[in-house]
Structure 1
Amino acid sequence: MEKDGKDLFVVILLGFFLMLFMVSFIVIIVVIHRKRQVQNQQKILNLKAEYEKTILNVELEIQEETLGYVGRELHDNIGQLLSLTKLNLSSSKPEKIQEGRHLIGMVIKEVRALSKTLNLDWVEGISLGEYFQKELNKLDQIGFCKTQFKVEGQEIKLIKEKKLVLIRVFQECLNNAVKHSEAQLILVSMVNTSDCLELTFKDDGNGFDLSVPSSGLGLLNLSKRMETIGGKMVIQTKRGTGTEIKLTLPLSIA
């Protein structure tokens, strides 16, 4: 009987320790799971904050460029139109007065066009293809270099924020080519598939060494901006062989 009592005590003791072990194990699992949940939530908050910061910076940069453009237009274009208007309206000749009225109409039209550019809502009303073609045409018109633009597939509809980032990255790629490449030809292609949007920017210019830090916004910064909207940027270049920049944005998160 005494032995049976000891065996029972040992079994109960073992059962107690086993139960204690199981409870401890469950508590540890719950604590680890909770910790991971908190870490994941913090990661999500950080990504959201980075995304919002990227969008804000892009909007500010585009607004600054827009204001610079508006300033030049006011001085060079509208200012000249107003001067001509003043000269014509100061004349007593009917044909000059009529010309002055026509110029006033042109001034009103130009001011309305400028007022639209001050609001970034224009981004929602233009397709990426239209915008890229417009920017490349500017280079053709000033005779900087030849450009070609090719589009394949039906363009993907993007939300304003992601479109802004793509526009800004495109602007910087174009600016870098203008400032540093000495290119004779710039080729841009946009391929829209069921999976993603793929934008390729290629020039036949000087190329550069990727290991050397860049000026301006910097290629690393542009790459991070693409990552913020779920995309990526890949660069292929070396001195004397031109540069190819490929931007990819998955359709599932566009």
Structure 2
Amino acid sequence: MEPTEDHIYVIIFATLFLAGMMSTFVISMVFIHRQRQAQNRQKMDQIKSEHEKTLLNIENEIQQETLTHIGRELHDNIGQLLSLAKLNFGSIKPEKIAEGRDILGQAIQEVRGLSKQLNLDWVESININEFIEQQLTRIKTTGYCETSLEAEFDLIELPKDQKLVLIRVIQESLNNAIKHASPDKILIKLHENGKGKQIFIKDDGRGFDSTQQASGSGMFNLKKRMETIGGEFNLTSAVGKGTEITLTLPN
């Protein structure tokens, strides 16, 4: 039985209809794909912008912290050294004059050391182990509390953005312990487990109910900063049992 003219029209119409549906489907998929690409690009640009903004804020905070430290050192340390040198130079005794020269030389070395901290070039050269050691030594020499560092590895080869974030988070964690915890000892431990490399900061101070502080902006900021470099920030604390902070580094 040969197809009639009506059958041929039906076949042609069905073919055109299916072709139109396929074309519409393909165009729709292309449109959706391009829309998702645009959304992904927008999201990536937003993440990049937030990352850069976070790093800029951290750089400004570190510079401000450095300037504050330099101001204290100029007033308390170098100012005292110069006063001692002046007293010795006022003497007619040769040994006092020689002692004054030694003190003046020490003051010059101190000024040179401080001048290196006026920009962030030191971030490039320092490793996190050295930075932690410096921070703990500074706390211990004030007589505030005992400190110790246990390191299973050296954090030397890290990108600058990771160093900046870790430096600031460690600084803030130590500052919080000093301001609020009144500890007898602060321990920082660098160790590695199934999650990767971690920095463990523990104090034996008064502690607090961490469940009530979960929404605090300070801890939230530290958490967000670790997330900007692909790391994690975790805190546990209880009243009378001290505080433990774990910084998990990005793999």
TM-score, with normalisation over the residues of structure 1? 0.89
Q: Percent identity?
A: 51
Tell me which residue corresponds to 2:168: 168
Secondary structure at the residue paired with 2:188? strand
Partners of 1:156 and 1:192 within 8 A in 2: no
Alignment of 1:65-144 (within 5 A): 65-144=65-144
**91-100 vs 102-111, greater mean Cα deviation:** 91-100
Task: Point out where structure 2 has 5 or more consecutive residues left out of the alignment.
Answer: none
CA deviation string 1:163-188 (max 9, x = no partner): 11101101111111111112222221
**Code of the aligned partner of 1:182:** S
Tell me which residue corresponds to 2:44: 44
User: 1:154/1:207 Cα in 2 relative to 1: closer, same or farther (>3 Å)?
Assistant: same
Number of corresponding residues: 251
Residues of 2 paired with 1:216 and 1:73: CA distance?
32
Task: Point out where structure 1 has 5 or more consecutive residues left out of the alignment.
Answer: none
CA deviation string 1:65-95 (max 9, x = no partner): 1101111111122222222333333444443
How far residue 216 of structure 1 moved from its aligned partner, in angstroms, is: 8.8
Tell me which residue corresponds to 1:13: 13
Partners of 2:181 and 2:206 within 8 A in 1: yes
Tell me which residue corresponds to 1:55: 55
Secondary structure at the residue paired with 1:169? helix
Partners of 1:151 and 1:191 within 8 A in 2: yes
Residues of 2 paired with 1:8 and 1:220: CA distance?
71
Residues of 2 paired with 1:156 and 1:135: CA distance?
17
User: 1:61/1:215 Cα in 2 relative to 1: closer, same or farther (>3 Å)?
Assistant: farther
CA deviation string 1:174-228 (max 9, x = no partner): 1111111122222211125797321111222222223445899600010000000
Residues of 1 paired with 2:72 and 2:155: CA distance?
32
How far residue 97 of structure 1 moved from its aligned partner, in angstroms, is: 3.4
